[in-house]
Chain A
Amino acid sequence: MADLVESVLQKAAEKESKYKSIEVHKDIDLDIDAGNLLAVDPNPLDAKKLREKRDEYLISLARDNTQLLINRIWELPVERVEGTIVAKLPAPKTILPREKPIPKPKPETKWQQYAKLKGIQNKKKARKVWDDEIKDWRPTWGYQSRVNDELNEWVLEVPANADPYEDQFGKAKKAKTERVAKNELQRMRNIARASKLKVPGVGLTPTDTPSKDHLSKALTLAKKSTASVGKFTDSLPKEKPVKNTGKKRKFEPNVGDMSKEKSAQLDILSKMAKAGPTVNVTKAMKQHMLEEEQQRQKTNSERPKKAKSIKKSIKRKQGKDTKRGGGGKGKRRGRK
């Protein structure tokens, strides 16, 4: 029994002599923030050592403090993640300033308010849906989904109660654009409600200080706001007719009178077939006349200009001489 104890003590002593200790003695304990791998040493520094043997003192100080930090980290719970041993760090203690302010909660849309009121839960749709026609999985929405298939149909049935000459393809496209526009409108209204902006139902929002643009828009809107959409309202004395505010591009119809198109195409062909460049006679004449005018002005202006410059220089010199007191000399020059 005694031998056993002795042997254990001997082994311990051997171990201690072989390896250096991991114990560090400090007057004041370090403030360790394991979450940030940070250790702050409040102990006073040895100013003399710092001045004389700076690097050595610093490295020994660093070694001691690192040892204490490592001792603390080795006390943390350890787990195995993908084969390596990993220590679980606690949350950082030192509060550091954020880089951006705390996000404000998003204001609810009209639908979200209603759903909350009624207690409607949002059912998550699966990403892929089994399509029996193709016999494959297709996304429920987005890129390769069957949502927009009706627009890409190559044949559309005319419904029983519809006009046989009606453009079904055009109708489908229009309906789609209207749906998209409605969605956009709803989204804009949600944003406006969230940002508490005043949005007009139709037209313009009233402002305290209207700009010129605002006033002109208001005028045109007021003119249009009659039962016959402005057809019979008189315009003001100096009011200019409004430029087309609706469509931005104009296309000629595909069917009907083809004479305009014919003349336009023939014009193009004739221009291409011509040998030399086209000369706009009136433009050329005007340019020539302008050049002549400029030439005439140049020659006319040169003569009086010379005289003027000489006169000016004389006056300057006279002024200088009078200041110095040599008035006689100057006068003589002028006569010459």
Chain B
Amino acid sequence: MVQRVVKPKTQRSKRYLESRESKLTENTKTAMFIRGGRTSEVVSQTLKDMYFLKKPDAVMFQKKNIMRPLEDQTSLEFLSDRNDASLFMFGSHQKKRPNNVVIGRFFDFHVLDMVELGIEKYKSMQEFHVGKFSLGSKPCLLFAGEAFENEPEYQRLKNLLIDFFRGPVIENIRLAGLEHVLLFTTLDGKIYLRNYKVQMKKSGSRTPRIELEEIGPSVDFSMRRTRLASDDLYKRARQQPKQAKPKKVKNINRDPFGSKLGRIHMEKQDLDKLQTRKMKGLKRKTSDNTDKKVEAKKVR
């Protein structure tokens, strides 16, 4: 823990501060859903649906916040600091920019990337009359479209979307629990988001046959402005701690019989000065008298 001058007085506050500070393996990123000074029905509904997808790692702001994220980032950074959230989605509606959504992320509580998307077409979750999946399941992410490979802006957007919708990083996953699929397709400056529920059907082999059923929301975005981080800041943010990397185990190999082998490296030995087992009886005697004297001294 950071050495503080004023120590936290309760265990609860101490735990909260520890969860907030930078660690080797980080917490799951929390997302903030903010409404701007003026929002339309479409925008509010989109934010609500996205909030449902991101639950429980999400915070929804009930009140409207008059701010312009692409011009002034101070209020956004303040909110991120207060809520310990490193992702955000800001929705607003203006005559100049109708049905506007800004997705972004923070690094060290300063804005890293921001992408402004316009909602062209929207179909909410309620419109698809299908049973919902369980809350908090990790979704499968699919990206399609050449722009996600070739264009740098779209590559950053892809990275941002992965970051946003990824969910917690886990080691094991229950095979039956893969229920949710998110598809992002891009063509001609438009990005299509679709959500599907996975149904596993019998196939001849162990691996099941997949059938999909569309659930909401289904959104058609158009790319508007972007405010991306500079390359060196982005590089710095992506640096992973060395301690987190698994240590390479050197010098252990197994022979075909399964026994563990290792190599010992010896320094060069001077065979004349080798220490071997001393057997006094075999020692070369100079004369009996001198030997006896030596022995007498040793006894004392």
Contacts and interface: CB of A to CB of B under 8 A. Distances in A.
Contacts of A318: none
A63 B214 CA distance: 11
Interface in A208-224: none
Nearest to A190: B3
Given A15-B204, A69-B140, A100 B108 contact: yes
Give the size category of B's interface with A. 35 or more
A96 B108 contact: no
A19 B209 contact: yes
Given A86-B174, A99-B107, A100-B26, A69 B237 contact: no
A264 B26 CA distance: 63
A43 B149 CA distance: 10
Interface stretch (A52-60, A169-177, A252-260): A52-60
Interface in A43-74: 43-45, 47, 50, 54-55, 58-59, 61-63, 65-67, 69-71, 73-74
A181 interface: no
Interface in A89-141: 89, 92, 94-103, 106-107
Give the size category of A's interface with B. 35 or more
Chain B CB count within 10 A is highest, among A35, A36, A78, A81, for A36
Nearest to A74: B207
Given A22-B208, A74-B206, A98 B107 contact: yes
A66 B172 contact: no
Contact of A99 (B106, B169, B207): B106
B175 A103 contact: no
B23 A19 contact: no
Contact of A106 (B3, B141, B202, B212): B3
A21 interface: yes
Given A61-B185, A62-B212, A96-B163, A89 B172 contact: yes
B83 interface: no
B288 interface: no
B17 interface: no
25 contacts: A20-B203, A21-B204, A22-B209, A36-B166, A39-B141, A40-B149, A40-B158, A45-B146, A59-B196, A62-B142, A66-B140, A67-B210, A70-B178, A73-B175, A92-B169, A94-B162, A99-B107, A100-B107, A100-B108, A101-B107, A102-B22, A102-B239, A102-B240, A103-B241, A190-B3
